[in-house]
Amino acid sequence: MSGPSLIANRRFPASTKLRLQLVFARASEALAETYQAQAAEFVRRLKPRLSIDEAFQRYFHEVAVPDALEGTVRARAMISLSGLIESDPRRETRAVSWTALRPDQLLETFRRRVQHVEETNLECRLAASISEEAVAATHVRMALEAVKTLADEVTPDEAIMHYVRTFNLGSIDAQLIFRSALAHWAELHPLPGEARVTARPITPAPPVDGPVRELRARHEFGLRVMV
C-alpha cells in the first residue's frame, strides 16, 4: 500500500462530513447484510458435516467478522435459516466404544474420522473464501461511494485510504481493497483518448513447403535413490 496520507489531518466542510458519515453508515449496514448472507450460506454448505451451532462457530473462526457485528450477524442469519432449523431433526450419534473394536476396526474407524475432519476443514476454507470475497466486494463498492463523496476535496486514492482507515482493516485486506477500488475507479474513469487494448485472435501458422523434420525427444532427467 502507498505511504501514509495527510487526509487524516484535513478538515472537511460540515456538509461533506455529514455526507461521509452517511456513506459509512450505509457501508456498515451493507457489510452486516453481506456477513449475514454469507454466514447463512456457510451453514447451509456445511450442513451435511456440522450441526448449525458448530457451523456458526466455524464461520466466526474462519471469517474475521468485527466483534461489534457478530451478534447482529448471527441473529439475522438464524432468522434466515429458520426453515432449515425447524426441519432439521439432527440424529444423536452414539459414542463409539474404542475398547470393543478389533485392531483392524480401530484403524479403519480412525482413518475414516481423520478423512472426515480433513474434508470438513477443506469445505470450511472454501466457504470462508467465498465469504471473504463477497465482503471485499462490498468494501470496494462502498469505498467508491466514499470517492464520489470526497471528489471535490481529495484525490481518489486519498479517499480510498480514508475509507480503509475508517474501518480499521488489516494490512492484507486493506491492500487488496485499496488496489481493487482504485482499479475499478480507473476503469470507470478512463483518460481522454485512452486506447483500449483488445486481444487479437490467434491465426494458424501457414503450411511449410518441403519435408518436415521431426523434433528429437528431450532427455528425461530424474533422481535415483540408491538403497
Q: Is residue 143 part of a domain?
A: yes
N-to-C CA span, the chain? 52
What does the pLDDT read at residue 8? 47
- Say how far apart CA 82 and CA 14 lie, in whole Å: 44
CA dihedral in degrees (153, 154, 159, 162; nearest 10)? -90
Q: pLDDT under 70 in the chain at which residues?
A: 1-10, 86-102, 104-106, 108-110, 193-227
What does the pLDDT read at residue 3? 35
Q: At what angle do helices 14-46 and 103-149 cross, to 10 degrees?
A: 160
Q: Is residue 77 part of a domain?
A: yes
Label residue 195 exposed, middle or buried (CB < 10 Å: 0-12, 13-18, 19+).
exposed
Q: Is residue 56 part of a domain?
A: yes
Amino acid at position 43, single letter? V
Write the CB contacts of 56 (distance below 8 Å, at least 6 apart in sequence): 39, 43, 74, 77
Distance of alpha carbon 163 from its chain centroid, rounded? 19
Distance of alpha carbon 80 from its chain centroid, rounded? 21
Q: Is residue 210 part of a domain?
A: no
Alpha-carbon dihedral sign for residues 12, 13, 16, 17: positive
What does the pLDDT read at residue 87? 66
What does the pLDDT read at residue 4? 37
Q: For residue 135, give its domain range.
A: 11-87+107-188
What does the pLDDT read at residue 114? 80
What does the pLDDT read at residue 197? 45
Amino acid at position 78, single letter? M
Q: Is residue 99 part of a domain?
A: no
Q: Is residue 92 part of a domain?
A: no
As for how many domains the chain has, the answer is 1
